[in-house]
Structure 1
Amino acid sequence: MSEEKDLREEVEGLEEEQNEMYEHFRFVTDAGQKQLRIDKFLVNRMENASRNKIQEAASAGNILVDGVAVKANYKIKANETITIVMEYPRREIEIIPEDIPINIHYEDDYLLVINKDPGMVVHPGHGNYSGTLVNALAHHLKGLPLFNAEDPRPGLVHRIDKDTSGLLVVAKTEQAKSHLARQFFDKTTERKYIALVWGDVQEDEGTVTGHIGRSLKNRLQMSVFPDGEFGKHAVTHYKVIERLGYVTMVQCVLETGRTHQIRAHMKYIGHTLFNDARYGGNEILKGTTFTKYKQFVQNCFKMLPRQALHAKSLGFIHPHTGEKMSFTTELPKDMTDTIEKWKGYIASRDE
């Protein structure tokens, strides 16, 4: 696989949520424009857009006038720039429903929470046009207006990487999608990850702060820029759960949601995720030179053929009821087996 293709696939399979808003439509009012409610203006300008849908977008803060979010009753004036932004970039990808098993953790009329298995790509993109979670959801939720061939990310308001397991919320209505997307954008959701990292993390807990952006040396990686000259502000809080000699199990809480945030931040402080091939964690970074130890680590890599990262818990406000929703899930078997294997190794070493 070429580096260019590999990069495209990596961009399509972003791990942590970017929480960016992308421009989908732009209109500039005429010099002689009379005052008119913005929802009425957009209904006349946009094909296949209902007034209700436009009002929901405005309520979610997704309609801007000269860069400022406005409500549906805002009256436009002459020479104003109106933009409609969404949590995903515009694309031309047809969604093909596929009967693929998915692990549904919770579901009601407005949303569902998925416990994504490792190895499943979230949405179609370069190199992954089928077999994704979106293809599976399009089949599971067929008949709902939100899930159609014209929507590149039906119901998705955030993402986790192909090789990261864990919880993901999916909207089933336009209103739910707008409401949830705004929560992620405003960073009011709660997300906790469990990671196995290389090395003995010295502090019991801490915070990593540093702008994250595409690496200037390796375009397949994200890098941390502490001076903020490049990238975007990112904050990760971590807490040690268990020390296992040459590796440590930690809990990571995201204050922001940048691409590969946990992977980049943990590497930045010298604790790359275990078996994270993209960031060098598939090398033996800590330990001894003994052949027996090297074989042990290689066996662990085979047991856990991916970065050791799991989205364990997720919290948000229900878009319809206003209720605080909290979900948690157990670690997948490949991670628990690997952790137990490390426990056994450390126990035998200390005897």
Structure 2
Amino acid sequence: MREPEIIYEDESVLVLNKPAGLAVHQDNFNREPALTDWLVGKYPNIADVGEDKTRPGLVHRLDKDTSGVMVVAKTGEAFVNLKNQFKTRSVRKFYLALLVGELKSEIGAEKVIDWPIGRSARDPRVRVASRKAFGQLRPAETRFTIRAKADGYTLVAAELITGRTHQLRAHFKAYQHPIACDSLYGTGNKCPAGLARQALHAWRLALTLPSGEKREFEATISADFKQALDKLGIAC
């Protein structure tokens, strides 16, 4: 199992850089060792933190093949505090995503995708940003800035205003510029050389620690993502 990098730690929280390929927790589709196994192995007391014994300490999650920054609660008090921050949307979450196609707007342009998300009627794993989605549609908002363009790709920095499942993947698919290498949402699974998973990295996380201190944490971009950007001549 690839182990996460510890970015920050105190008596109540742990901030990690999760590697791509590591599931956050096990479920019906994944029985491989997960981040929660590493957490409980290194911090046994975390096993009793939280509302769900299968997700100890977790106050949010990342997809298995998305790398980047996560915060984990080490105590019950920290769990309640952090969950409330995510619920009230006071946590700011920023991602780097490499999109298929070069957007027409200039570098530095700021955009907003404000389309509701629901389940796909064809595949329950997939979320769709469409009025034709299955079941209840939930409001979803993504803001992003164009950082670079090269060789048929666009690098964007995106902020999740809401936190729907697969929000960025579904929004950029509906925007006609899916995330590169995304086999579930991508068009033809177009990939830059050197990358074999969705080109999505949880870059920065801004929150208030349970101690009351406001902090922003940044996760170094993973080697495979950086290699792909380097080959495209894109500086991150």
Question: Measured at CA, do residues 339 and 183 of structure 1 come closer, stay the same or move farther in structure 2, by a change above 3 Å?
Answer: same
Query: Who wins on radius of gyration, i.e. which is larger?
Result: 1
Paired residues for 1:5-24 under 5 Å: none
Match of 1:89 in 2: none
Distance 1:249 1:238 in 2: 10
- Does 1:216 find its partner at 2:121? yes
* Unaligned stretches of 5+ residues in structure 2: none
Equivalent positions of 1:41-52 (< 5 A) are: none
> Structure 1, residues 227-283: CA drift from partner, whole Å, max 9, x if none?
898420000001001011310000000000000000010111110000100012453
Q: Greater share of helix residues, 1 or 2?
A: 1
Find the residue that maps to 1:277 and give its secondary structure.
Answer: coil
Gaps of 5+ in 1: 1-98, 285-296, 345-351
Corresponding residue for residue 330 of structure 1 = 220
State TM-score, norm by structure 1: 0.61
Counterpart of 2:168 in 1: which secondary structure? helix
- Contact (CA 8 Å) 2:26, 2:34: kept in 1 or not? yes
Once residues 147 and 189 of structure 1 are traced to their aligned partners in structure 2, the CA distance between those partners, rounded to angstroms, is 20
**1:249 and 2:155 matched:** yes
CA RMSD of aligned residues (A): 2.2
Aligned position for 2:174: 268
Asked whether the equivalents of residues 211 and 227 of structure 1 are also in contact (C-alpha less than 8 Å), the reply is no
Q: 1:138 to 1:147 in 2, by over 3 A?
A: farther
Instruction: Summarize the Cα distance change of 1:100–1:162 in structure 2 as closer, same or farther, 3 Å threshold.
Output: closer
Q: Among residues 116, 120, 136, which one is paired with 2:22 in the alignment? A: 120
The 1:276/1:145 distance shift into structure 2, 3 A limit, reads closer
Q: Partner letter of residue 153 of structure 2?
A: V
Aligned to 2:74: 172
Runs of 4+ in 1 over 2 A off after TM superposition: 99-102, 127-130, 143-148, 217-220, 225-230, 280-284
Matched, 1:312 2:203: yes
Please list, as runs of the form range in 1=range in 2, the aligned pairs for 1:154-233 lying within 5 A after superposition: 154-203=56-105, 204-226=109-131, 230-233=136-139
Structure holding more strand per residue: 2
- Name whichever of 135-144 and 216-225 sits farther off: 216-225
Instruction: State the percentage of identical aligned residues.
Output: 34
